[in-house]
Amino acid sequence: MKIKSKSFLCIALILILGVVTVIVSEKIIFTKDGNNKNVNSELAYIDFNSKEFQQDFAKVLEEEYGPNYQQIVAKNVESTLTANEINEMFVSNTTNELEYPDYIGGIYINDDNKLVVQIKQNEVPSSNQSSYSSYNAVLSADDDMLTEYVSHSYNELEDIYELLNNSVSQSSVSSNVTVFYIDVIKNHVIVELLDNSVDKQNEFKEVVIDSDIIEFKQGSEPTLEAYNTGQGTYNCTIGFRAKLGSTTGFVTAGHCVSSLSIGSSYSSYGTLRAYQQGGNVDAAFIQTSTTINSTLQYPVYPVTSLSTTAGYVPNLIVGTMVGKSGKATHGTSGKITSLSATWNGSDSSGDAGITITKMIQADYNSDHGDSGSPVFTINGGTLIGVHRGTSQGLKYSSNYNYIKTALGINIY
C-alpha cells in the first residue's frame, strides 16, 4: 500500500479564561478591547472562529480530495461502520475485548475505501460446525466487501506482537529495535531495525524469535514532537479537556511534563495532578483553576464538533480516516495503519529507555509542537488518542482507553 499523509480539516481548539482567548500558534493574545500583544507560551489554542482558517479548510479539502471529497469520506465511513458490525460479533461479553476466531486474518479498508476481510482458509469452519453461521454472516456483511486469503490468523499476529512486547526491551538487541507493530494489510508483524543488515536480522532471530510472521524493515530513531523550552516544560498541544474526579483540567502528552513532579505548576496553566509515560500510556492531566470552555470545531463536512465520546477497539479499523489537531501543523488527516504498535524505548528527544506499547499508528501529518494533540475519527469526531511522535513517517498516539484507565480521568 502506498502511504500518503493527507491534510484534511484545519481544526480549532480554544481556551477561554475570562475575556482572553490565546492563539499560541500565532503567539498572539487577542484581548476583548482588540489590543493584541505577543506572548511566548507552551500550549496551543487555535481560534476556531477564524475566517482564514475556515477558508483554508475548504481549500485543503478540495486540493487533497478533489470536488468529490464528500463521497470519498462517506465511503470510508460506510466501510468503517460495516467493519464495526462485524467486529461487534466477536466482542467478549466478559472482557469487552475483540476476540477474533482463527479463520479471520484481519479486517481493513483499502485505498479505494472498500472493506477487506482476510480469511485464513485452512481455519474456515465446515457447514456442520456451530461457528459456520458467524463465518457466513461475515462474508455476507456487505455486497461491496472484498475477501482476501492470507497465511496467518490475526490471533497469530497478536501472539507474536505480545511476545515481542514481553521480550524485546529486556534483550541484548533492544537498542537496535526502534518500533514494531502489527501490519494487518501485509499480514505480518513489522520490526524496524536501526541496522537492518542480514547479520542483525539473524541476531534478532537468535535472541528473540525466528518466525515467518515477522518482516524486518529499515528503522530510524523515533522522535517526540515537543519542543523543550529549557524551563522545565515543553512546547506542546492540549489534547482534550477532562475531569479527574470533580477536578477539571486538560490532558496532554506525558513527555511534555516529564521533568515535573506531581503537584508542580505547569507554567501558568495549572497543576500537574496525574502522569504516566510508560506501559501503554504517554499522558498527563493538568488541573486548572478555571473550568475550561473548549471544544474542537469542524466548520466543513463531515463533522461539526468533537463528540464527548471516546472510541474503543472494536470501533477502530485499519484504514479508517482519522484527524489530529496540533499547534505546528494545525488540522491534518490520514488513515489508521496499525492498532497495535510499540515505540521501543530510545528516541532522539532525550527520553531514552521509555517504551510505550499498544499505540495507534497512522499516516496523518505532524511536526514538533504537535505532541499532545487529540487524535479522533473523522466520522463523528470521536476521540481515540493523544499524539506522541513519529518514526519513519508514521505517527504514534496513546489510545484514549488506556489513558482513561491509567490517569483515572474522563472527558466531558
H, E, C per residue of 253-276: CHHHHCCCCCCCEECCCEEEEEEE
Q: Which of 78-82, 224-228, 289-293 has the highest mean pLDDT?
A: 78-82
Residue 346: the pLDDT is: 60
Euclidean distance between CA atoms 24 and 269, whole angstroms: 13
Residues across the chain:
412
- pLDDT band of residue 19 (cuts 50, 70, 90) is very low
- H helices of 101-251, where? 132-139, 154-167, 198-207
Residue 83 CA neighbour count, 13 Å, CB half:
29
Across residues 253-259, what is the average pLDDT?
A: 89
Pairing of strands 115-119, 146-149: parallel
For residues 121 and 350, give the distance between their C-alpha atoms in angstroms, rounded to a whole number.
46
Predicted pLDDT at 239 = 85
Residue with cell 457466513: 136
Instruction: Give the pLDDT mean for 267-281.
Output: 90
Kind plus residue range of the DSSP H or E element containing 83: helix 69-88
- Domain positions in the chain are 69-149, 154-218, 226-287
pLDDT of 119 over the 80 cut: yes
Q: Is the pLDDT of residue 280 over 50?
A: yes
Block residue for cell numbers 529495535: 177
Residue whose C-alpha is closest to residue 344's, from 328, 326, 356, 332: 356
Neighbour count for residue 412 (Cβ, 10 Å): 11
Range in 25-29, 82-86, 218-222, 407-411 the model is least confident about: 25-29
Which residues, in sequence order, are CB contacts of 378 under 8 Å at separation 6+? 8, 9, 73, 76, 77, 302, 303, 320, 321, 322, 323, 333
Q: What is the pLDDT of residue 322?
A: 87
- CA 203, CA 209: separation in Å to the nearest integer? 9
pLDDT at 309: 80
Q: What is the DSSP string of 181-238?
A: EEETTTTEEEEEESS--HHHHHHHHHHT---TTEEEEE----EE--EE-SSS-EE---
Give me the pLDDT at residue 237, please: 86
Of the pLDDT bands very low, low, confident and very high (cuts 50, 70, 90), residue 266 is confident
The residue whose grid cell reads 488506556 is 402
DSSP string covering 321-340: EEEEEETTTEEEEEEEEEEE
Positive or negative, the CA dihedral 359, 360, 361, 365 is: negative
Structure confidence at residue 244 as a pLDDT band (50, 70, 90): very high
> Residue 303 — pLDDT band, cuts 50, 70, 90?
low
Geometric angle at alpha carbon 236, from 52 and 247, rounded to 5°? 105
Question: Residue 17 above 90 pLDDT?
Answer: no
56-113 confidence digits (pLDDT tens): 555 555 666 778 877 888 899 899 999 999 999 999 888 888 999 999 999 999 999 9
- At residue 267 the predicted structure's pLDDT band, cuts being 50, 70 and 90, is confident
Of the pLDDT bands very low, low, confident and very high (cuts 50, 70, 90), residue 407 is: very high
Task: Say what percent of the chain tops pLDDT 90.
Answer: 55
Give me the residue label for grid cell 496553566: 269
Q: What is the pLDDT of residues 312-361, one digit of tens each?
A: 777 889 999 888 888 888 778 889 999 999 999 765 455 557 899 999 99
Q: Which residues pair with 345 in a beta bridge?
A: 354
Q: Are 300 and 58 in contact (CB under 8 A)?
A: yes
Which pLDDT score, from 0 to 100, does residue 340 have? 97
3-state secondary structure of 370: coil
More confident residue, 57 or 267: 267
Predicted confidence band at 30 (pLDDT cuts at 50, 70, 90)? very low
In this structure, are residues 98 and 90 in contact, taking their beta carbons and an 8 Å threshold? yes
Residues in Cβ contact with 301 at an 8 Å cutoff, skipping those fewer than 6 apart: 69, 70, 73
Provide the mean pLDDT of the chain.
Answer: 81
Q: Look at residue 9 and tell me whether its pLDDT is greater than 80.
A: no
Predicted pLDDT of residue 67 = 85
**Of the options 3.40.190.10, 3.40.50.620, 3.30.300.50, 3.20.20.70, the CATH number for the domain spanning 154-218:** 3.30.300.50
